[in-house]
Chain A
Amino acid sequence: MLKEMVPVSVDNLVKETAGLKIAGYRFVTLSCAAIDKDHFDILYHFDLGLDLKHLRLTVSGDTKIPSISPVYFAAFLVENEIQDLFGIFFEGLVIDYRGTLFLEKMIHTPFCKYTVQASQSKTNGSQPLSGSPDLKEES
């Protein structure tokens, strides 16, 4: 079962994550699971010497979550994946595919059992990496 589980909120997520980086934790990944019609659990997994530590963020579907990719660069890929599959939005992504990581055009959120937020998926504010024509076309 999951040990070392720390509940976090949107307000202290980045601070907690930065603290883990200073403490020497390696970023592992994020896991997202729907709790009910309106709420999701996002688990942030970190590793130090093969011991896992998890942060649990419980949010409603319309919450804009601060991206931890400015702290852990590698998080951009999985945050984009969650954006594609669940329709949850991350603010401040260092590379934002705007819902096009898996699809050329964002149509719907296939992993989201309860809600479809296609129209909002295109309105996430951050910019894609410059010099990327594929992404600019979608903007």
Chain B
Amino acid sequence: MLKTVIPFGPQHPVFPEPIHLTLTVEDEIIKQALPALGFVHRGLETLVDKSDFHQMVQVVERVCGICSMIHAMCYCQAIEEIMAIQVPQRARYLRVIWSELSRIHSHLLWLGLFADSFGFENLFMQFWKIREKVMDIHEATTGNRVIVSVNAVGGVRRDMSSEQLQWIQSQLANVKQEVARLGPTLLEDYTIKKRTVGKGIVSRDKAYELGLVGPTLRASGIAQDVRMLGYAAFNELDFEPVLGTDGDCYARSKVRFQEVFQSIDLIGQAIRKIPGGEVQVTVKGRPEGETVTRVEQPRGELLYYIKADGSKNLDRLRIRTPTFANIPALVTMLPGHWLSDVPVIVLSIDPCISCTER
């Protein structure tokens, strides 16, 4: 049968950001998929030559708008490890609260985009409407909706009052109720299941072999969640990774849907346990040494490699984002599927091109 090559993206209605796939198809069945990147690559890592290690917090916050806070937290943890800085306990809990808020709004954003990828506009709007409540919490507690800029080397820049913490809990109770109301539609609707069940399957062994991360990995049944390392205050909170078994688009959406409730629970635990005290310590000196730090972004494992030579500028900053780890899976996920399944399968890894094109 005649082979046809179809360029998919970088501009495509289903992609919020530019990524390209060269799809080789026979009839409308995909035989080969080859990703291409670099349409908006920014080279932010090289800014270590111009910005000192304190200023780099603001740079890494801009790697990605959705998980801006978690990028900064990972970077700060790396510097704090190199400089042996003891971050105040209250700051650790505040980092948990803000990072889990980021996870909730990221997952709600993705659930909306996923619904949009198979044309369910109403569901898309419902998820995004709920997300606004989380953005309101961001704005009320940090002054910004997206680039929240709360992290600093040595702690966090802002504190929360007990009234704010109580208000967050009441807001999240509403979020929980409203998200739960959409569960039957997302998980039981005939049309959605028709578009997601059995699509883009990655087996447990293949997921591990490909080095997948985050919900994409957990949906294949592997209990890998970097929060289990216990960074920030996660070592004092109870949680188990949310797992799927089937490794298809449906399993990936179900894992993310359930992780919204997990994050709400974690924030509740953090609010109940948060101690009083300072939120930032004074940092003296300059970093010297090298380290690797990992945190769990909404899309999975985020890794920062930092090498410092004792000057105010870092010698090297390397960021491995979760989408970068999940993109190779598309090469194995897509072949054998219909061309019309491509948007749903690609969206199912929750691709963040802003992160990838750091």
Q: List 18 A-B contacts (CB under 8 A).
A: A1-B291, A2-B290, A2-B291, A28-B301, A29-B324, A31-B318, A33-B305, A52-B294, A73-B209, A76-B328, A78-B324, A95-B34, A97-B36, A111-B45, A131-B3, A131-B24, A133-B5, A135-B34
Q: Does B46 touch A at the CB level, under 8 Å?
A: yes
Q: Closest 7 interchain pairs by CB?
A: A102-B38, A33-B316, A31-B305, A29-B320, A27-B211, A131-B24, A74-B328
Q: Does B31 touch A at the CB level, under 8 Å?
A: yes
Q: Does A101 touch B at the CB level, under 8 Å?
A: yes
Instruction: Give the A-B contact count at a CB cut-off of 8 A.
Output: 100
Q: Does B135 touch A at the CB level, under 8 Å?
A: no
Q: Does B325 touch A at the CB level, under 8 Å?
A: yes
A residues adjacent to B (C-beta < 8 A)? 1-2, 26-29, 31-34, 43, 45, 50, 52, 54, 72-74, 76-78, 95, 97, 101-103, 110-111, 129-135
Q: Given A131-B24, A133-B22, are A110 and B43 neighbors across the interface (CB < 8 Å)?
A: yes
Stretch at the interface among B67-75, B186-194, B223-231: B223-231
Query: Is B224's CB under 8 angstroms from A50's CB?
Result: yes
Query: Is A111's CB under 8 angstroms from B211's CB?
Result: no
The size class of the interface chain B forms with chain A is 35 or more
Query: Is A129's CB under 8 angstroms from B32's CB?
Result: yes
Q: Given A103-B38, A131-B31, are A33 and B22 neighbors across the interface (CB < 8 Å)?
A: no
Q: Given A28-B320, A74-B210, are A129 and B34 neighbors across the interface (CB < 8 Å)?
A: yes
Query: Is A26's CB under 8 angstroms from B36's CB?
Result: no
A139 to B85 Cα, complex, angstroms = 51
Least CB distance, A88 to chain B, in whole angstroms:
14
Residues of B within 8 A of A95 (CB): 34, 331
- Contact check: which of A2, A132, A133, A134 meets B292 at CB < 8 Å? A2
Query: Is A111's CB under 8 angstroms from B46's CB?
Result: yes
A44 to B232 Cα, complex, angstroms = 26
A101 to B329 Cα, complex, angstroms = 17
Residues of A within 8 A of B7 (CB): 134
Least CB distance, A115 to chain B, in whole angstroms:
15
Name B207-233 residues within 8 Å CB distance of A.
208-211, 224, 226, 228-229
Chain B 282-307 per-residue mask, 1 if CB under 8 angstroms from chain A, else 0? 00000001111010000001010101
Q: Given A31-B318, A32-B318, are A111 and B43 neighbors across the interface (CB < 8 Å)?
A: yes
- Contact check: which of A43, A73, A74 meets B305 at CB < 8 Å? A43
Query: Is B289's CB under 8 angstroms from A29's CB?
Result: no
Residues of A within 8 A of B210 (CB): 73-74
Query: Is B318's CB under 8 angstroms from A52's CB?
Result: no
Q: Does B327 touch A at the CB level, under 8 Å?
A: yes
A82 to B327 Cα, complex, angstroms = 16
Query: Chain A residue with minimal CB distance to B41?
Result: A102
- Contact check: which of B82, B226, B324, B328 meets A73 at CB < 8 Å? B328
A50 to B235 Cα, complex, angstroms = 14
Q: Given A2-B290, A45-B303, A129-B34, are A26 and B316 neighbors across the interface (CB < 8 Å)?
A: no
Name B75-109 residues within 8 Å CB distance of A.
81-82
Residues of B within 8 A of A1 (CB): 81-82, 289-291
Chain B 317-358 per-residue mask, 1 if CB under 8 angstroms from chain A, else 0? 010100011011101100000000000000000000000000
Q: Does B37 touch A at the CB level, under 8 Å?
A: yes
Name B41-55 residues within 8 Å CB distance of A.
41, 43, 45-46
- Contact check: which of A29, A76, A111, A133 meets B303 at CB < 8 Å? A29
Least CB distance, B2 to chain A, in whole angstroms:
12
Least CB distance, A86 to chain B, in whole angstroms:
11
Residues of A within 8 A of B31 (CB): 131
Residues of A within 8 A of B41 (CB): 102
Residues of B within 8 A of A26 (CB): 208, 211, 224
A52 to B211 Cα, complex, angstroms = 13
Least CB distance, A37 to chain B, in whole angstroms:
14
Least CB distance, A73 to chain B, in whole angstroms:
6
Q: Does B17 touch A at the CB level, under 8 Å?
A: no
Residues of A within 8 A of B37 (CB): 101-102
Residues of B within 8 A of A54 (CB): 292
